[in-house]
A and B are shown apart, each in its own frame.
Chain A
Amino acid sequence: MSEPNAVGRARLVQGPGMLLVWLYGVMSVGAVSRSVYQIATEYDRAPLAYTLSAVAAVVYAFITYTLFRGGETARKAALVCCAAELVGVLTVGTWTMADPSAFPDATVWSDYGLGYLLIPVLLPVTGIVWLRRSRRTAQA
């Protein structure tokens, strides 16, 4: 599980990691294009929601990049971001349910990501499990 790639870093994109990076890639494209469009065309309508979507987009794009890059530093950075992502989904999800009036339009993380088949809340959990397992197999 820890064969180094061409530049000598342990690969993270293999086996289940391939599925994971694909889903992160899809979420990155979705969240980036959505927030760019909304901020460019109708930012005043729901500034908070669109800003939070942009934050989510940056997090997804960064995790996708670190997974592709591989290596121990990237693995740790991705682990931190997955934790941040999970906290973000839970916070924003609870926030949108507790105070819907603050959100005239939905964010990527509204209602725990229900609009995205709950993938936003499942992805960080899967990511953390995978990244922790990658370290164990790398040490073994």
Chain B
Amino acid sequence: MLDALTVAVAVAALALAAWCGFAFTRDQPTKDWHFIGMAVVTVLALAQLVTGIVQLARGEEAGEGTAIFVAYLLGALFTVPVAGFMSLTERSRWGSATVAAGAVVLAVLEVRLWDIWGGVDV
């Protein structure tokens, strides 16, 4: 379950990065549809955080330690929303670039989360 969510968040984040990167090349700021995309990615990250905490509560352990695991889950949850708020104050193509960069950062966090959990059991 957790591994499936990790893959889902990573793929959604890369799609969001491509979409906002496209807006950047078209010289466009982030628009309503982009924010809906960010919301979808954020909901997935929230589901991942909840699932991760439930699995810890059930006695499962993250390979590299609980503290690092929870810290990365929280970081993954806040990355895209923070970038989204920054793009609200920067109504130019550079706001789109900021969200695209944030989505790439989230994808990298997901790769690290995969390693930290040490999981293969989908």
Any B CB within 8 A of the CB of A29: yes
List the A side residues contacting B82 at CB < 8 Å: 25
**With the chains together, A37 CA to B95 CA distance in Å?**
32
B68 cross-chain contacts in A, Cβ below 8 A: 37
Interface residues on A, range: 10 to 19
- Chain A residues 12 to 31 lying within 8 A of chain B, measured CB to CB, are 13-19, 22-23, 25-26, 29
- Once the chains bind, are A23 and B101 in contact (CB under 8 Å)? yes
Interface of B is mostly: helix
- Do B90 and A15 touch across chains, with their CB atoms under 8 A apart? yes
Interface of A is mostly: helix
Residue pair A16, B94 in contact (C-beta under 8 Å): yes
Number of A-B contacts (CB under 8 A): 37
Chain B 47-95 interface residues, beta-carbon cutoff 8 Å to A = 67-68, 71, 75, 79, 82-83, 86-87, 89-90, 92, 94-95
**B98 contacts partner chain A, Cβ-Cβ < 8 Å:** yes
In angstroms, how far is the closest chain A Cβ from the Cβ of B37?
Answer: 18
Is there contact, CB below 8 Å, between B94 and A18? Answer: yes
List of 7 A-B pairs having minimum Cβ-Cβ separation, nearest first: A18-B90, A22-B98, A19-B97, A15-B94, A19-B98, A18-B94, A18-B98
- State the B residues within 8 Å of A (CB): 67-68, 71, 75, 79, 82-83, 86-87, 89-90, 92, 94-95, 97-98, 101-102, 105, 108
Tell me the A residues contacting B by CB distance below 8 Å. 13-19, 22-23, 25-26, 29, 33, 37, 117
